[in-house]
Structure 1
Amino acid sequence: MKHVIALDVGGTGMKAALVAADGTLLHEARRATGRERGPDAVVETIQDFAAELLATGRERFGRAASAAGVAVPGIVDADHGIAVYAANLGWRDVPLRALLTARLGGIPVALGHDVRTGGLAEGRIGAGRGADRFLFVPLGTGIAGAIGIAGRIEAGAHG
């Protein structure tokens, strides 16, 4: 069955899923982020978790995931796949997309900011669907917001 890996990295925990092409949830999993072990350990934990999800897809559905999408907190350069800075995770300039692409055997990996990515999903398939404008404010280890206007998420003055 064709599917993708979805991975949301938070300040204290990670939530993940394998999702079918039609949006059906096939598998869910959670892990602690482990930020108390330092930024390098967090990056390794993310890679290990993604690799486990890839293996789960192969075992359960007879094929590897087609792609992976990873959402992380902090400042993100989505165009270049860089987790630029996250105060709560202690990292700077982590080439996370390249690291994950290599770890996952070359499947395409998208990297995005957690709140902008969540806002985009909410606007496309959640409570914001069909609304011309909406505000998405998730509460977790931190707090942030995303503004949806005309089907896209505003990047803000500084990205």
Structure 2
Amino acid sequence: MRHVIALDVGGTWMKAALLGDDSASAPGTAPVLLHRERRATGRERGPEAVVAEILDFAAGLAAHGAAHLGGPALAAGVAVPGIVDESGGRAVYSANLGWRDVPLRDLLAERLGVPVALGHDVRTGGLAEGRIGAGKGADRFLFVPLGTGIAGAIGIGGGVEAGAHGFAGEIGHIVVRPGGADCPCGQRGCLERYA
């Protein structure tokens, strides 16, 4: 079956799925969930280990699809936390994972041999929520999932705002206690240290 790889990288866990296209039998329908997995991100081993874990996880998903779904995936979509340069395909910075300027889209495309889209985890979730979830039909909404980090997606007019430097919605790094606990982002007293 025709399918794609969807991978969400979090500060603690990675969640993934293989999604099929059943539009031939029912045009306009949502993708079909064919397989899902979850794996620890492994951030305690450092940023290089996290990148290696992402690449290995994606390759394992591709192998599963090829073996059980009759062929290779057509593409992959990967969502990561922190500051993301979506057009350049780079994971610019993540306080929770410790990486800086990782060319993740190219690394994954090379490993998988298929086109890869890279996005910010919360903005990607917010976009989905705006298209098929609670924000559907709303001109403006705020999507705030809570996980290892705290971020929000600002939905405006059918899209999600990235901000001038890709930092829109990173509310976990608002200083709520000046001079408070150290944060991996380099500031002190960030919301994520206390929430």
Q: Please give the alpha-carbon distance, in whole angstroms, between the structure 2 residues aligned to 1:134 and 1:34.
A: 33
Q: Which has the higher contact order (CA 8 A, sep 6+)?
A: 1
Q: CA deviation at 1:124?
A: 1.2
Q: Give the match for residue 137 of structure 1.
A: 144
Are positions 1:127 and 2:119 aligned together? Answer: no
Please say if 1:32 is aligned against 2:37: no
Equivalent position of 1:75 in the other structure: 83
Following TM superposition, the consecutive aligned residue runs of length 4 or more in structure 1 with deviations greater than 6 angstroms are none
Structure 1 Cα separation of the partners of residues 16 and 159 of structure 2: 23
Q: What residue number does 1:118 align with?
A: 125
TM-score when normalising by structure 1: 0.96
Question: In the TM superposition, what is the alpha-carbon distance from 1:150 to its structure 2 partner?
Answer: 1.2
Match of 2:16 in 1: 16
d(CA) in 2 for partners of 1:125 and 1:132?
Answer: 14
Higher mean Cα deviation, 40-49 or 122-131? 122-131
Asked if 1:156 is matched to 2:163, the reply is: yes
RMSD after superposition: 0.9
Asked if 1:2 is matched to 2:10, the reply is no
Q: As a proportion of its length, which structure holds more strand?
A: 1
Stretches of structure 1 lacking an aligned partner (at least 5 in a row): none
Give the count of matched residue pairs.
158
TM-score normalised per structure 2: 0.79
